[in-house]
Amino acid sequence: MCFRPASAARKREVACPKCKKMNPLPLSIESLVSEIIGDERGKAILEKHCSALTADPRFKMAMGMTLKQIRPMSGGKLTSAMIELVAGDMAQLPVTNECKFCGESLPKVDGPSGPAKK
């Protein structure tokens, strides 16, 4: 199992209109593994549905990838069904639409891919 992303993954963030600091977007299957593991709720979801994958010592090499990027290289330790279960649990997580630094309302987000385009 080789975890080498084909292209550089972009961190999913949105800028606060008031303080201009970057805030992470809600967790989804489009999130980098490092973002998911960095959130206790996301880490618990991964361990619940993908324990064989997270226990693999090579998993640390996949931190800059998404679950969809990891699946073909996982040797069956991550399936599409597991990704769907993870996505379902992440969709149930409460979403805050306020800047974690100043409390200002953040711009609306269209789905898991990022900020709404105008």
Is 21 a domain residue?
A: yes
Is 78 a domain residue?
A: yes
Is 113 a domain residue?
A: no
pLDDT tens track for 23-47 = 888 899 999 999 999 999 999 999 9
At 24 the pLDDT is: 85
Using DSSP's 3-state secondary structure scheme, residue 65 falls into coil
User: pTM for the whole thing?
Assistant: 0.73
Is 118 a domain residue?
A: no
How far is 81 from 104, CA to CA, in rounded Å?
37
Domain total in the chain: 1
Least Cα distance to 112 among 83, 76, 74, 77 occurs for 83
Q: Which domain holds residue 66?
A: 13-93
Is 84 a domain residue?
A: yes
Is 74 a domain residue?
A: yes
Q: What is the CA radius of gyration of the chain?
A: 15
Is 117 a domain residue?
A: no
Sign of CA dihedral 68, 82, 46, 72: negative
Is 3 a domain residue?
A: no
Using DSSP's 3-state secondary structure scheme, residue 56 falls into coil
